[in-house]
Structures are given as structure tokens and as C-alpha cells.
Chains A and B, each alone.
Chain A
Amino acid sequence: MKYKVVHYINQFFAGIGGEEMAGHKPESRKGFVGPGQAFNAALAPDAEIVGTVICGDTYFADNLEKAEKEVLDLIASFSPDAVVAGPAFNAGRYGTACGAVCEAVRKNLGLPTVSGMYEENPGVDMYRKSTYIARTADSARGMKDAVPAMARLLLKQLKGEPIGKPDDEGYIERGVRVNFFMDKIGAERAVDMFVKKLKGEPFTTEYPMPTFDRVPPNPPVADMKSATIALVTSGGIVPKGNPDHIEASSASKYGEYSLAGVMTINSSTHETAHGGYDPTYANDDPNRVLPVDVMRDLEKEGAFKKFHETFYATVGNGTSVGNARRFGTEIAQKLKDANVDAVIVTST
């Protein structure tokens, strides 16, 4: 029995048309279409392309959730064992769609997936943790190399064979750590590495340190008396009921909430969405994390000119650096646009 594989491609590779046809709605066809022929050959004899799902890049980008569901349903209708998407080379919207499809297939159908992209395709950063992405050239001229690499990665997953390191297997590093048993115990590896480092010989660390983005603090506010001050928190304080459904950990969003006319907050108006600490005291009096009461007092006393009546909140609990950086950039821009002079950021 052959493994059944569904191929996801865009309107261009399906031969429907270029940019003018990018609004093409999702459709499915039996068997292979376009580059699917090469995949069908590369997957033989263990697997075959049983169906192709096609969607226009603009349609996918403009109707993200809807398109993803439509594509997923079409894929599921073939009852496949695996999905291959692309390759998208350096086409940004196509790469993003391929990544999103692979992620959705993995999450909802639990099937192995593979895509192929040029390393600078924005789809790489967004989806490499969710799927194997074969490293390809930046244009369709690289199809000849991309197909066998992608087919090999898919077959290995289908057969449950171990997939080696990124450079050996030709995929883009996913940033996912996997355990394995080595030949030597850790202590011996450490002393081996130590001797090499002392001798000035090359060695390879087993865990390359992530680089932390260190931000130098701004100079102190020169004139507090005429300053507008805002509150921002990663402590998860949100209006009661958490209207934006900010996640308890690994937050994917932040909230923007009004404090117009609000002199203090309490357990009936606000709560914490944070799942990484004992919430008892924060819920009991949310001013402990988001000190609205004290800010209002200081405003009245004239310690600064004005308390900015919008606060921003997210949950800093296992939240990825990528998301945190995006939140920070967006929030800072909004504060600047509102002529805020300084901000107090509270954590937990």
C-alpha cells in the first residue's frame, strides 16, 4: 500500500494565472497538478500524490482563517497520510500560505508535512517551528533540487525514520531541541571540549546561546512636571473577563484598554490573565500589578502632568521573544503617537 499525499499549491503553479488570478478560491483536483508530477515521481514507490489543493495567494492572505479552514477541509477529504506544500521559493505570500497550511495540518490532522522555501521567505520565520521546510533556491529555477529534498523529508517522516541535523538533511533549522543518546557521557564530552578550547582547537558547543536583545535605558525624564506618563504591564492585568482572551502563557497578543475617568481598579473591574504566578494577590487588588491608584494620586499631587488614560497589557509567561519584540514595537509607536513622554512597565 502506498502512502497517500496531498499537494498544496498556489494559482500560479496550478497554471491558472499570475497576480491577476491571485484571488482564486480554494479548489481541489484529483491526482497531481503542475510540480506535483515531479513529486509523484520522487515519492515513488512508497507514496503518491492522490490530490492537489489549489488556492490563490491573495485569497489566502486576505481571508486567513476562512481560507485555512477551506483548504484544510479539502485536504482532509482525500484522507491523506501526509501533506506537501509548495515549494514557495522566495514568494512571500505563497510561503506564508504553505507554512500556515502545514501548521494547520499538523495541529488539526496530526499528519507529517513538508514545505520548501528560500531562507529569506517570511514564511520561514513564521512557520519553521511547525514544519520541516527544505532549503531551496530563491526562484522556481531551483525546482529540480527542491523536489527530491522535500520528498526525502516527507518519506522519512512517513516511515518514522529519524531525521538528522538540518545541514545533513537539507532543511532550515526549526529551532526545536530534540534529545538523543550520544556515544560518550556528558562529563567526558565536557572534558574533551575543555581540552580543545584550552588548546585553541575548534570545538562545537552543544547549545549555541541565544542572543538577548539588550536595550540601553533612556536618559531620565528631564521635566516630570509637564510629562504624560503611561502604564504598560506584562503582568496580565486585563478588564474582568479577559475580553481579548490573552493566553495564560505563550501570549500571542496584547490588549489596549481605556482608563478614562478611572481613579482606581479593583477585583470587580480587573483581573490577571497570567498563568505563571499565584494570582491570589493580583486578583484581590489588581493595583498591585498595575498601580492605577498610585498613578492617580501622583497625578493629583502634581508629580507629573498627566496620566495617560490607555494602558497596554500582555502576559510575560513563556512568551516568545519574537512576539514580545513585536508587541513592544507596536505599543511604543502607539505611545509616541499619543505624545506620551514616559512609561512605567510593570512585570511580576
Chain B
Amino acid sequence: MELKLKKVAVRSLLDGDKTSFSDGVLKVNRREIVDMLMKDKRFSSAMVELALPGESTRILPVKDVVEPRCKLEGPGEVFPGFIGDVETVGEGTTLALVGAAVVTCGKIVGFQEGIIDMSGPGAEYTPFSKTLNVVLVVEPVEGLEKHEYESACRLAGLKTAHYLASAAKGATGGEVETYCLPDLAKAMTSFPGLPKVAYLYMLQSQGLLHDTYVYGVDAKRIIPTLIHPNEVMDGAIVSGNCVSACDKNNTYSHQNNPIIHHMYKRHGKDLNFVGCVITNENTTLADKKRSSSYAVKLAKMLGVEGVIISEEGFGNPDTDLIMNCRKAEQSGIKTVLVTDEYAGRDGASQSLADACPEADAVVTAANANEIIVLPRMEKIIGLPDTANVIAGGFQGSLREDGSIEVEIQAITGATSELGFSRIGAYTI
């Protein structure tokens, strides 16, 4: 399977009479987006705002972030099951508007949405302070159930991302990256001497608004399965999560999964990357046992020597992470884990809810309980009083002067367990 990813850089984001893209300038007709979103009868109102790096702007409560992408050639369309039909994606050519992002805002669960600061100390912690953001603030009609609101909000982000990319279909220039992994028969004999490896990709699926979708299917209903990394780039995995903002994998970081990116980079040089196994993080013990055994069995069927395992979320999913690790290592498959930590505000507690001696190679995306003070911003997009109820915030965390004292847990993407940022931790 071969995918050409045409990456066009967006350098400037402006209002315009017509949504269009040329010479790195993305112009947005906000009215047109509002009209498109309001076709969904589940919304009572929709607003579009622009947020740019360096501005004194705070966005909250953030639900999801999506990179504008669309297909230029090849079968299917991005976000299969939502925008595209449920046909297989990951081949042909896909356009990505790099440097731009669609940010969806809505008070769905209240305490599980995030904060994005476009400048100041908080901006260091989120990747989305560096993107040119088209922010959608959508409110539900009265009486709409939370899961319906989530679904509407999710779709709004995907639609807008596809709409923006589609306006840039004729864009010239940009850089084309080619991603190709052969079929398994060929992969098994490629690069003799290099270790065959896979990526064990854990998806949040605890339910009750802790959900992830694969080709539109709720991941808690799947049995672990194989997925080609190129499918992920085309939006085959979509976030439907309302869990702590710091370490839920938003749709943007699925599309740009940096573990996949770096596995590709070393492919053919240090390792032979044969593909990804996706698995879930369900709440019952039977599901945990079944999924971890099944995922490791798939890795064994592929005959890989090692897997990188990434977690999503924390606490309960720590047990899935450790089960995956232990079962893989006990089958002779070497593991590296990517997680984050909840070591308490003082950093003095045990970081994970579960552990095993086999987990001897761990990369951490930092302690999510660490406190940060986010100074007042001139402009607030969204609903500032939600800071008091966002996970990692606490009653009174929104101060009178407009500053917010929160755990970095509240910042969107702060401790990404896909290893999206440079943050880490050590023991003093």
C-alpha cells in the first residue's frame, strides 16, 4: 500500500469572502462554515473564530483538534465512516494543510475538555499553540443528550477539516512524502537481517464518552486487528473522546501519529516495520484479557521481534498497557512503552496504577499532575468558567484576575502518549 501525502504549508489564516487557498494563505468564509454546521439540527448555534500563534488568546473547553485533509487521488475519502464512505483508505494521494487546524469547542462533559493558550507559559505545553486555528464553538439544542452532542461536535470538526482542505485542492507546490509498506508476503522477506517489528496502538474505549472510532466503528466493539499505517494518515481513526485533555489522542495526533512517522523513518535502516495492530482499552477484566491476548497473538502471527506500545489515557488503561507488555515480553516480543504519569502534584506518588518487571523500556510524556499558572489572556474563545471543572482544574482555579491555576492535565495534548511533544520527566 502506497500513499502520497502532499503537504502544503499554511503560513497565514485570514477572513475572506470565499474560502480559498493560495500562496500559503488560507482564507475562510466563516458564514459558509456556520451555514454548513447549522445543517445539523442538533446545534442551536455555531460560531467560527480564528486563533493565531502568539496572540493573547485562550481557547476552552476544547474537545478535539483535526488537521484539514482531503483525498486528491485514489480510492475513498478521508475520515471513512464519517466523511468518506467506509471503503478502505491509505492509497493514492492525500492533501494536508500543514500548520492549520480545526479546533472544536463545546461543554460536553465539562470536566473533560481542554485548554489551548496561543501564547504565554501554557502555549509551551500544547502543540496547538503553533497551529493556525479555525475554532468552532458549537452549542446543542435544548435537551440534546451528551453523547449526541459529542457525535455532532465530532462530525462538525471532521466536516470543516475536509471542507478547508477541499478548498485547497488546486494548490501547487508543497512537499510530497511517499509512505509505502508492502504486503505481508513481501514484508516477511524484505530487509533480511533487520528485525521485523510492529506498532501496538491502544485506543481509548472505556465507553460513556471515552470512545474512539475506526472506520466509523466504536473501538470497544472490535477485536484487535491489523491496520496499515497509511490508513491512519487518512483519518481511519477518529477521536470521540471526552477524557482528560492532556493525554487523549485527538484526531490531529492520530492523523500525524509521530510513532508511525518515526517507525517509517527507521524502516529499512534499523528495522523492518510490517504494520500496526490496533487494540482497545475496555473496562471489564474479560475484555482486557481477551484484547491483550489477541493483540499479542496477532503480533506473534506476524512474527515480529518487537512492538512499540502506546497507551491512551491513564488509570484504568494502565492495566491494559501492562497486560499487553507482559504478554508480549513473555512471548519473546520486545517492548517499548509510551505513557504519561500521575505522580501527584508533588510528584512523590507512584506514577502508574499498574506495573510489571517486564516493562523495562518506558518513554514518559511527563507528570500530568504538575501545576501551572496560566496568566490572563485578552481574548477568550469559548467558556472561561469551565476552567473550574476541567480535569486538572479545581474549584477556584479560575482566579479573579482571569488567570487559571491548573494541572497540566487540563492542557490539550500536554502529555501526549503518542509522543507528540518534547516533554518528559525524571526522578530527582
Contacts and interface: CB of A to CB of B under 8 A. Distances in A.
Contact of A185 (B258, B266, B346, B359): B258
Contact of B261 (A184, A187, A321): A187
Given A174-B428, A176-B428, A194-B306, A187 B422 contact: no
Contacts of B370: 178-179
A173 B334 contact: no
Interface string B193-227: 00101000000000000000000000000000000
A135 to B, nearest CB: 13
Interface stretch (A64-72, A97-105, A207-215, A232-240): A207-215
Nearest to A196: B361
A348 interface: no
A278 to B, nearest CB: 15
A181 B427 contact: no
Interface stretch (B107-115, B175-183, B349-357): B349-357
A186 interface: yes
A223 interface: no
B362 interface: yes
B425 A197 contact: no
Interface string B311-325: 000000000000000
A129 B305 contact: no
Contact of B348 (A129, A198, A206): A129
Contact of A207 (B261, B266, B339): B339
A202 to B, nearest CB: 11
A333 interface: no
B363 A178 contact: no
B426 A194 contact: no
A195 interface: yes
Contacts of B117: none
How large, as a class, is the contact surface on chain B?
35 or more
A209 B349 contact: no
B364 A206 contact: yes
A187 B258 contact: yes
Nearest to A319: B349
Given A186-B363, A189-B363, A210-B350, A197 B428 contact: no
A191 B266 contact: yes
Report which residue of B262, B350, B362, B416 has the largest number of chain A beta carbons within 10 angstroms of its beta carbon.
Answer: B262
Contact of B427 (A166, A190, A191): A166
A163 B306 CA distance: 36
A209 B357 contact: yes
B338 interface: yes
Nearest to B363: A190
Interface of A: 129, 163, 165-166, 173-191, 193-195, 197-199, 203, 205-212, 318, 320-321
Interface of B: 124, 195, 197, 257-259, 261-263, 265-266, 270-271, 305-306, 308, 310, 334, 336, 338-339, 341, 343-344, 346-352, 355-357, 359-367, 370, 408, 416-428
Given A177-B341, A197-B361, 8 more contacts: A175-B427, A180-B423, A182-B423, A182-B424, A188-B419, A194-B308, A197-B336, A206-B426
21 contacts: A129-B348, A163-B428, A173-B428, A175-B427, A176-B347, A177-B341, A177-B367, A177-B428, A179-B408, A180-B425, A182-B422, A185-B419, A185-B421, A186-B338, A189-B419, A191-B262, A191-B336, A193-B363, A197-B334, A198-B271, A211-B355
